[in-house]
Structure 1
Amino acid sequence: MLERKFLILNKLVTVIMPVYNEKKQWIVESVNSIIKQTYANIEFIIICDSTDNQLKSFLQEISKKGDNIKIIFNPRNLGLVNSLNRGINLATGEFIARMDADDVSLPERIETEVKCINAEKVDLVFSEVNVINESGKLVSSIDKKNNLNEIQLNELFRYGNVSKHPTWLGRSELFKELMYRNVSYTEDMDFLLRGLQEGKKFF
């Protein structure tokens, strides 16, 4: 049993984070929150979609924080969807996790999600979020946990997107099969609906 648990928690997770014009302080906080995860086996791909040379130099310095950090510079501004798809194509992990450069992950996020996706035998998991302001002060928090089953999720998705994109962790083959499409402002919802149409399971 311990050996099986070790094998589950030793699978490579690729974290994909696009960067465009976020504040440097936010980028540092986001990167640090991934570096300090309780889950050890992480490949961290940061895609720079800016031509700003100062930002590029800044990200090169950021990459020195860990051997597992890879900075990918787009040749020109490709937009969020193309940047995400580029990250997916480069990902080598068994799982892919989404991250945004203006968000912060709790230290146990990846470990909790890997345990969950294996326990529930689903293709993708996501969670609620605590909301913070620009200074990092808590604005609102989730004080209770409600797990939603497949039927409940399918019903809710008829009315809107109930998932928070930067909390996603899914199987690599799911991302590589679906990829993102250029649907203005709703590429994540489009991804989920196409997944449900293909019989994929979310939790």
Structure 2
Amino acid sequence: MEDWRTSVLMAAYHRAEPAHLAEALESMFSQTLAPDEIVFVEDGPLGEPLRRVLDSYQGKDIPLVRVALAENSGLAVALQAGLDVARYPWIVRMDADDISVPHRLATQMAALREGGIDVIGSAVSEFDGDPTNVVGMRSLPLDHHAIVRYARMNNPINHPSVVMRREHLVAVGGYRSVPFMEDYDLFARLLAHGSVFRNLAEPLLLFRAGDAMFSRRTAPGMFRAERLMQRNLVGYGLVSRPRSWLNLVARSAFRALPRSAMRRSYRVLFYRSRDAS
């Protein structure tokens, strides 16, 4: 009989906003289907305001397991540290500044119980500032075969929305340090491993967008990171070398656009209808 218990995996460093962290944690503690534990990695010293938020959620019905790293080591290292101590078979990702809708976990686990799925994500509603200010819905391909095709060019899962089979994560080596793209790299390895993917059309997460999101896409070192990611896709057998160079050119050209043009292109590329597949 399959074990359906869940570990929520979160991480934050000292620049996280305490109010955003409180919203993120509250959305997990208020799920209609409660997770069995929340593993929170403190990626280096957090400071008193963030520690107070975490302290306020300890001792409640859902165990909050805190892992403190001595120094800020980056998201991949932090998530791997959390994965190492997570106890349950299903890993639920959650960022420290996003908001899960109350029925997120119930909906995803019901879909997983249908069988044959190892990794499940969902559409996300992107908001700017106030959570009620939804600016768009990012919906990725839904079925496994469409996800495989899409993964040859772009990240096929909205990372903060994902639930994954822990056994498969361990089998592919967990999170690795691929700057800016640790999630894409992980999903590519899982696909190469044979994990079966699915995305749900319903947006089950409110994702904090705005200028910061676009700034991350043009951060220093992004081109070098993209070259590494494309080499990885070749190594995992997902794309040919010529296709990797085409990807590099296309994805780098997108990041080179002026901010206003990047926003418009982003809407065209990623804001899909709910029946996208």
Q: Give the equivalent residue in structure 2 for 1:130.
A: 125
- Residue 65 of structure 1 and its aligned partner are, at CA, apart by 4.3
Q: Give the equivalent residue in structure 2 for 1:12.
A: 5
- Equivalent in 86, 94, 102 of residue 89 of structure 2: 94
SS at match of 1:196: helix
Q: Give the equivalent residue in structure 2 for 1:26.
A: 20
- Equivalent in 41, 51, 62 of residue 47 of structure 1: 41
Change (3 A) 1:24 1:126: same
TM-score (normalised: structure 1): 0.87
Aligned equivalents of 2:35, 2:53: Cα separation in 1:
25
Is 1:63 aligned to 2:41, yes or no?
no
Aligned equivalents of 1:89, 1:47: Cα separation in 2:
11
- Residue 120 of structure 1 and its aligned partner are, at CA, apart by 4.3
TM-score (normalised: structure 2): 0.65
- Residue pair 2:9, 2:82 contacting (<8 A) in 1 also: yes
Unaligned runs of 5+ in 2: 199-277
- Residue pair 2:44, 2:69 contacting (<8 A) in 1 also: yes
Aligned equivalents of 1:53, 1:23: Cα separation in 2:
11
| Matched letter for residue 47 of structure 1 | V
Aligned equivalents of 2:189, 2:140: Cα separation in 1:
24
Aligned equivalents of 2:21, 2:97: Cα separation in 1:
6
- Residue pair 1:39, 1:111 contacting (<8 A) in 2 also: yes
- Residue pair 2:8, 2:35 contacting (<8 A) in 1 also: no
Is 1:194 aligned to 2:189, yes or no?
yes
SS at match of 1:97: strand
Q: Which moved more, 1:145-154 or 1:81-90?
A: 145-154
Change (3 A) 1:162 1:92: same
- Residue 158 of structure 1 and its aligned partner are, at CA, apart by 1.2
Identity of aligned residues (%): 26
- Residue 24 of structure 1 and its aligned partner are, at CA, apart by 0.6
- Residue 44 of structure 1 and its aligned partner are, at CA, apart by 0.6
| Matched letter for residue 197 of structure 1 | A
- Equivalent in 162, 168, 180 of residue 168 of structure 1: 162
Change (3 A) 1:100 1:72: same
- Residue 198 of structure 1 and its aligned partner are, at CA, apart by 1.2
Aligned equivalents of 2:92, 2:136: Cα separation in 1:
22
| Matched letter for residue 87 of structure 2 | T
Q: Give the equivalent residue in structure 2 for 1:3.
A: none
Higher relative contact order (CA 8 A, sep 6+): 1
Q: Which moved more, 1:64-73 or 1:134-143?
A: 134-143
- Residue pair 1:60, 1:71 contacting (<8 A) in 2 also: no
- Residue pair 1:13, 1:94 contacting (<8 A) in 2 also: yes
- Residue 141 of structure 1 and its aligned partner are, at CA, apart by 4.5
Aligned equivalents of 1:66, 1:78: Cα separation in 2:
30
Q: Which protein has the larger Cα radius of gyration, Structure 1 or Structure 2?
A: 2
Q: Give the equivalent residue in structure 1 for 2:272.
A: none
Matched pairs, number: 195
Is 1:149 aligned to 2:143, yes or no?
yes
- Residue 134 of structure 1 and its aligned partner are, at CA, apart by 2.1
Q: Give the equivalent residue in structure 2 for 1:84.
A: 79
RMSD: 2.2
SS at match of 1:39: coil
Aligned equivalents of 2:60, 2:108: Cα separation in 1:
24
